[in-house]
Chain A
């Protein structure tokens, strides 16, 4: 049984906060094929297109037939532990702070052997294991071995917790409470054990339907936050910035406008102010403090989630402004990711299809229920993903973008 995570105590203001360090992050370019898989929670290894054998570590040619046609393919996630060790000494400053560290050598069911991080509840040599690819604190892909069956508190394993962003015992800020999405997220995060859920509300004097639902959720605290106001964002960060371990940015501004319509640029400017500029203001106010708290104990700052439209990845003409704004957010999120990575804080983008909310009234199904989005975000945090595709439309676009992005563009809106 995994030792259950102790509830974090109130922090002694006199004690020093550990500075974030990162595990060794040098990788070959080819190795990022594993990164691509880890970001979306897939398990892929190089497989030879000619002889069909899987190979690992990542190579430029198949050691069996020398074909350079080595593609990353989904692989069976099973394996058998051949040997294990518990590392007690390392010259690397990140790992020195996390000793002892359990690793093993696993014979993968698809063929090769791999050095892996071992969950504490994995049995000894000879045990069957389930493997996954995870992103470590440096954002690099690593293998993690889980026991085959569930064990008590297994999500609290300290090595696993380093590779994920579990909301348990962490404090969350949801940036825009005026939406059904915020309510669903607050509920899901509360259920996942979040210690506190701050929900930002702009112009709090204006009544809104979701207030009552939000206030009914245990742990929720409504806070003033207007993403279009730098001052408002800064003030909130000064107040609670050092108490936010997971930030979920739900900002959106969906207004249909035709490209040739007079005033379309104004509509776009307004959408950009709420979304892109809003994200930038949040990044400036909350980014530095979250980055500095990336190693602040077992419940330190861990993730920044942007809820984005999948149409940011390929425009949907009926919602061209919305698509453009989210495309800009996606670009900004990459920038933010490179900044927060230095603190070991991951940036997760949840790309969603059209939500089942009033602003997408004209869009035919399938649509994404707010609860589905919320569950996907919590699942992504628990599994340590980086890109989450929510709903059938988003997953369809993900697969097609991978296959042929031009086909997605030509067929959009038809």
Chain B
């Protein structure tokens, strides 16, 4: 049964004011402090008061016991579009999709999309121990390895099934480190060689230290608004061409080998009037390199199982054949909790505004951002992607 109708385009929807609140490995502050910093930077970047944001969309793992509504009072906001998007690495694109429709319909004019998490010394362990009911019942008690252990199972199977090697994963990690060295906000400041990657200490086979992101505190934020609003505020902007999301796709796969992108990618490219080859850069959700490889396949850059060959055939630095995670990604910039899903978006906006500085891809006109999140039990449930274009 197909009850779907063709989706409306995102005509007139733009993104502006990419904000990164510089990350810290550990913070004594709460998530609220980081959200406040991000809102302030958005207001400063817009030139109006944060009270004039009539839409607010927030993602965070550590803002409890508050939900989005409590934050309105906390920060003195009076929005008419309010959203809490607890979807981890997919939250950024999901919040764009919702905000886009709100501004298109006139339910809101300016939506502030903010993702922030703190990282106090015990935050990460507590987040893992209380992540979800299925995780509590059925994965965390098995070695308490958290996402490293869960994705290690997926990675090992992917290697067995498609012939990927640690060197392939390492190539992506090393390229991202090269990119990160050009990003002043990246937490990782030292170069990484493939040898160092290969010989680092094991965490959960096949993962070693440099396969894993470093949890940290930080915030990412941007605005979603109509083109005319951006022009009235004299804000440089980029266009939203298309966006997809899908949750718990392929529930009968015994182990994850693909994400929901596969179901929706044709629509993603059709709405944008583009194809994978047209992308000047790609920002994947890189909680692990194997997941980036899965995204190359599922977003149509190569066929299923060809991810390893695709990696071998391309280069992924800013000046590479496929500029990828140009800010260094989470692997080298750090994973500030839910902000990890917004990191690729702010970087993509900068690339298309031409304000990416040292990480700028030359003449970037069109870019793809992908999100992935929520390992509820044995697999990441949420997948999302968006195509953005220079205005």
Contacts A28-B137, A57-B138, A115-B138 given: A85-B204 contact, CB under 8 Å? yes
Contacts A83-B153, A125-B160 given: A92-B204 contact, CB under 8 Å? no
Q: Residues of B contacting A136 with CB < 8 Å?
A: 141
Q: Is the CB of A82 within 8 A of B251?
A: no
Nearest CB on A from B374, distance (A): 15
Chain B residue with the shortest CB-CB distance to A85: B152
- Answer whether residue B340 sits at the interface, using C-beta atoms and an 8 A cutoff: no
Contacts A26-B129, A92-B129 given: A85-B137 contact, CB under 8 Å? no
Q: Is the CB of A113 within 8 A of B254?
A: yes
Q: Residues of B contacting A125 with CB < 8 Å?
A: 156-157, 160
Q: Residues of B contacting A57 with CB < 8 Å?
A: 133-134, 137-138, 377
Instruction: Identify which of residues 136-151 in chain B touch chain A, using a CB-to-CB cut-off of 8 Å.
Output: 136-146, 148-150
- Answer whether residue B255 sits at the interface, using C-beta atoms and an 8 A cutoff: yes
Chain B residue with the shortest CB-CB distance to A86: B205
Query: Interface digits, B193-228 against A, CB 8 Å rule (1 contact, 0 not)?
Result: 000000001111111000000000000000000000
Q: Is the CB of B378 within 8 A of A88?
A: no
Nearest CB on A from B154, distance (A): 7
Q: Is the CB of B141 within 8 A of A103?
A: no
Q: Is the CB of A27 within 8 A of B136?
A: yes
Q: Is the CB of A91 within 8 A of B128?
A: yes
- Answer whether residue B125 sits at the interface, using C-beta atoms and an 8 A cutoff: yes
Q: Is the CB of B143 within 8 A of A87?
A: yes
Q: Residues of A contacting B141 with CB < 8 Å?
A: 23-25, 136, 138, 140, 142
Question: With A and B bound together, what is the CA distance between A346 and B312 in angstroms?
Answer: 53
Q: Is the CB of B142 within 8 A of A117?
A: yes
Most B CB within 10 A of own CB, among A83, A92, A113, A140: A83
- Answer whether residue B310 sits at the interface, using C-beta atoms and an 8 A cutoff: no
Contacts A88-B202, A105-B255, A105-B378 given: A82-B139 contact, CB under 8 Å? no
Q: Is the CB of A91 within 8 A of B134?
A: no
Q: Is the CB of A87 within 8 A of B204?
A: yes
Q: Residues of B contacting A105 with CB < 8 Å?
A: 153, 157, 254-255, 378
Chain B residue with the shortest CB-CB distance to A112: B254
Among the listed B139, B206, B207, which residue makes an inter-chain contact with A115, where contact means beta carbons less than 8 Å apart? B139
Q: Is the CB of A107 within 8 A of B254?
A: yes
- Answer whether residue B124 sits at the interface, using C-beta atoms and an 8 A cutoff: yes
Question: With A and B bound together, what is the CA distance between A26 and B138 in angstroms?
Answer: 10
Contacts A24-B129, A58-B138, A83-B156 given: A94-B255 contact, CB under 8 Å? no
Query: Interface digits, B241-266 against A, CB 8 Å rule (1 contact, 0 not)?
Result: 00000000001001100000000000
| Given A83-B157, A83-B160, A88-B204; 15 other pairs, CB 8 A cutoff | A24-B129, A26-B129, A26-B136, A56-B138, A57-B134, A82-B255, A83-B255, A85-B205, A90-B146, A103-B142, A103-B143, A103-B149, A103-B153, A105-B254, A105-B378
* Contacts A/B (CB < 8 Å), 10 sampled: A24-B129, A31-B138, A82-B153, A85-B152, A85-B205, A87-B152, A88-B202, A89-B203, A95-B145, A105-B157
Chain A positions within 8 Å of B, measured between CB atoms, are: 23-28, 31, 56-58, 63, 82-92, 94-95, 101, 103-105, 107, 113-117, 125, 136, 138, 140, 142
Which 4 pairs of residues, A with B, have the shortest CB-CB distance?
Answer: A92-B144, A85-B152, A91-B125, A57-B138
